[in-house]
Structure 1
C-alpha cells in the first residue's frame, strides 16, 4: 500500500529538483458494463483509505465519474493537481483481473469525479495475503478475468475543486528547511496564481501582508481578501519576488 504522505513527499521532491515540463495526461478508459454488488464485496471499497480534508470546497459534480488508466504515478498526480482536482483517497490490493467498472462503482459511492487506476500483473501473491475469498468472490462476477492471474491494483480517487480563490497546492516546509513559507507543489491551470506567474517550487511567504505559516493560514488569508488584488511575496530559488494577484471570488 502506498501511504498518501509518501506520494506527496515524492511529488514535492520531484517538483523542487527538476524543470517544469508538460506532464502526460492519464488515459481515459471505458469502465465497461456496470457491476451490481454490495460495496463490502468490491475490493476497491474494501481497501479504500479516505483522506481527511479540512476546509476544501469541491464543485458539485454531475454525471458518471471518469476512469483513467494510470501511467507514471508522479506525473499523473501532478497532472490531476494542475487540472484542479483534490485527492479524496486511495486503495491498494491484489486480486484477479477486474474490469474498470468495479472502480467506477466505488467512485460513485464516494462521490469522486475521477479515478486513476494502476494495474500490474504479479508473478505470485504476497505470502501474507489470503486471496481465496477474493478469488471466489470475483470469479463469480461476469466481468472478472481468469482467477489464475493475480494483479496488483492501486487507484487514486479525485474530486473536482470549486473555482479557486488563489489556485495552488502547497506543503508546509519541514524543520530542516531554512526559513518560513509554503512550498508550491502545483499551480491550477488558468487560476489567479497561474495568471500571476506563480510556479511549482516557489516558496510563498505572505499574502496581503499576512505571513504564511501553514496551508490553513494561506486558505484563510486568501478568503479574507477574496475578490481583491493583493500582493503575494514569494521566494524563487534564492531571490525574493513580489507579484500582484487578482484573487477569485469565494463561494
Structure 2
C-alpha cells in the first residue's frame, strides 16, 4: 500500500470517528433536551391508591432521596408514618432527578424516592472507548457496536405523604400459599393478617406488636380479611382492647390502647 493510499485510509478512519462522536453527542443532547421538555416522571405517573391520601401540609416542600434499596426503603417509610400515593416507572437515556422533585411538588407529596439502574451496556462512554481502542490498534469496528441504544437506564420514583398518627399503626397483607389437593395445585389463604410494618410510636408499637406478627383477633372480632381489621379498629377506637396474634409458632396476647379521632 502506497503512502498516498495509507493517508487516504487514515483520513477516512478519522472522519468516521469524528462522525460517530458527533452522532453520539447529538443523540445525547436530544435525549437530554427531550427529558427537560417532557417530564417523564409526570408523564408516567400512576396513582397508588383510591383513598385520596393527602399530606398534613397544605403546600408541602418535598424532599428527595436517591437510593438503591427500594424494598428496604418502602418498609422504612411505612414505619415512619408515611404512605405511598403513587409511582413513576419508565426507561430513558437520561431523566434528571430534579424533574421527579418537580412532579412531587405538583402532586403535593412530602417525599420522593428515586432509583436508577443501567438497562444497557452500550453507553456513550463505552462506545467512545471502543473507537479510541480501534484507532490505537488500527483495528476495525463493527457498525453494530456503534448503533445507538436510546434505552440506557431504568427509572423508578415513589411518592409519599406523611399521615396523621393512626388508631392502631400497622400495615398488613393477606398471605396465600399453594398446596396440593387431589393431585391438583390450589391456593389457600393463611389464617390471620401478616404485619409487614409497624409505625413507630403508634399504639401497636407501644403494645409490643412487631413486624412479622400475625394478627388473629381483636376483642371478639376474628381477623380473617383486611376489612375485618378496619371494622374492628373503628368499633374499638379509643378503647383498650385485647389483641390475639401469632409470633412464629407461639400464640401471643397483648393489650392495645387504640387511638381515637377527635
Correspondence for 1:117: 114
- CA deviation string 1:15-38 (max 9, x = no partner): xxxxxxxxxxxxxxxxxxxxxx9x
Residue 79 of structure 1 aligns to a residue whose secondary structure is helix
Superposed CA deviations along residues 86-144 of structure 1, whole A, max 9, x for unmatched, are 1112111122333322111211222221111001244359xxxxxxxxxxxxxxxxxxx
User: For 1:72-95, what per-residue CA distance to the aligned partner results, in whole angstroms no more than 9, with x for missing partners?
Assistant: 111111111111111112111122
State the partner residue of 2:226.
215
Cα distance in 2 between the residues matched to 1:201 and 1:224: 25
Change (3 A) 1:248 1:40: farther
Q: CA separation in 1, counterparts of 2:235 and 2:200?
A: 22
CA apart distance, 1:164: 0.8
How many residues matched? 193
In structure 1, the residue matched to 2:39 is 42
Report the alpha carbon displacement of residue 57 of structure 1 after superposing the two structures with TM: 5.5
TM-score, normalised via structure 1 length: 0.69
Q: Offset at 1:151?
A: 2.4
Residue pair 2:174, 2:190 contacting (<8 A) in 1 also: no
**Counterpart contact for 1:71–1:118, Cα < 8 Å:** yes
RMSD (CA atoms): 2.8
- Distance (whole Å) between structure 1 residues aligned to residue 60 and residue 189 of structure 2: 46
Match of 1:174 among 151, 176, 194: 176
Task: Report the more deviating stretch, 212-221 or 229-238.
Answer: 212-221
Aligned to 2:235: 224
> Residue 137 of structure 2 aligns with which residue?
none
Is the Cα contact below 8 Å between 1:170 and 1:186 reproduced in 2? yes
Determine the structure 1 residue equivalent to 2:25. Answer: none
Provide closer, same or farther for how the CA distance between residues 151 and 186 of structure 1 changes in structure 2, counting only shifts above 3 A.
same
State the alpha-carbon separation in 2 of the partners of residues 159 and 40 from structure 1.
27
Unaligned runs of 5+ in 1: 1-36, 126-146
User: TM-score normalised to the size of structure 2?
Assistant: 0.66
Cα distance in 1 for residues equivalent to 2:94 and 2:37 = 18
Q: Structure 2 vs 1, CA of residues 250 and 59 (structure 1 numbering), >3 Å: closer, same or farther?
A: farther
Q: Distance in 1 between matches of 2:248 and 2:220?
A: 21
SS at match of 1:162: coil
Q: Are the counterparts in 2 of residues 118 and 154 from structure 1 also a CA contact under 8 Å?
A: yes
Conservation of the 8 A alpha-carbon contact between 1:196 and 1:245:
yes
Deviation readout 1:155-212 (Å, 9 max, x if unpaired)? 1111212211000000012154675200000000111101111111111011122111
- 1:79 equivalent in alignment to 2:76: yes
- 2:168–2:202 Cα contact (<8 Å) kept: yes
Check if 1:236 corresponds to 2:247. yes
Counterpart residue number, 2:88: 91
For 2:53 and 2:217, locate their aligned partners in 1 and report how far apart those are by CA, in whole Å.
Answer: 22
CA drift of 1:220 comes to 2.1
Judged with a 3 Å threshold, the aligned counterparts in structure 2 of structure 1 residues 90 and 167 are, in CA distance, closer, same or farther, namely same
Are the equivalent residues in 2 in contact too, given 1:58–1:159 (CA < 8 A)? yes
Distance in 2, matches of 1:40 and 1:244, equals: 55
Task: State the secondary structure of the residue aligned to 1:104.
Answer: helix
